[in-house]
Amino acid sequence: MAANPFSLTGRVAVVTGANTGIGQAIALALGQAGAAIVAVGRSPMDETEALVRGAGARFHAIHADLGSIAPVKAIVAETLSTFGGLDILVNNAGIIRRSDAIDFSEEDWDAVMAVNLKTAFFLSQAAARHMIGQGRGKIVNIASLLSFQGGIRVPSYTASKSGLAGITRLLACEWAGKGINVNAIAPGYFVTNNTTALREDPDRSAAILARVPAGRWGDPADLGGAAVFLASSASDYVYGTIIPVDGGWMAR
């Protein structure tokens, strides 16, 4: 094992949904650990670029809509042509739609499943084709507490994140012998765009915080350590695990 098993020096990491929130924080953490960062997203990533470059890491942005698998092959090809490698993939891009299950629309179901599950799988597949050739790679999926629990009013989100947990385990089983570690992080309740509605609802926010032993909403930076661990050689014998980073929610 390397002198510093958490070092990502010389590695190339693709992080989807890296323009804000959790994706931005993970991109920064991997950059601080030495990785070159390829940030993928629909909106401008100027702030992420400034943070990552400020940490001394190389950076490249790819603007792509992950609502379909159309950009998948090009993302891998552009990463390889830009930095000459692909060692780490973080499937963070995700969307959420809220409505009572009795009223939930097919459009909202399909949109969430496409981004959160379908594209994550096919981007993993495309990345793995390169990683298998080099005999190593790390794939980190961003799951959710709703990979374990039902939640309310987010049926397609719960289905997608439960499915992502299952795919994480399946890919870990299939690819462990090919040098690829596939694992996931399950964030708890974090201050992100996806939780704005919850945080602005006094009753829901109070109910959530009452169950979090840490007594606060998570800050995206709280996920950096777990991401670096799963992306680095420190986790070389870790396969198919889902690490909750949740302020103690699951332990309650």
Q: Active-site residues: which are they?
A: 157
Burial zone of 101 (CB within 10 Å; 0-12 exposed, 13-18 middle, 19+ buried):
exposed
Helix (H, G, I), strand (E, B) or coil at 187: strand
Residue 13 tokens read as 């990491």
Write the CA distances from 215 to 182, 192, 212, 223, 246, integer angstroms.
31, 17, 5, 17, 11
Residue in 26, 69, 19 with CA at minimum distance from that of residue 40:
19
Residue 16 to residue 39: CA distance in whole angstroms: 6
- Do 231 and 30 meet the contact criterion of CB atoms below 8 Å apart? yes
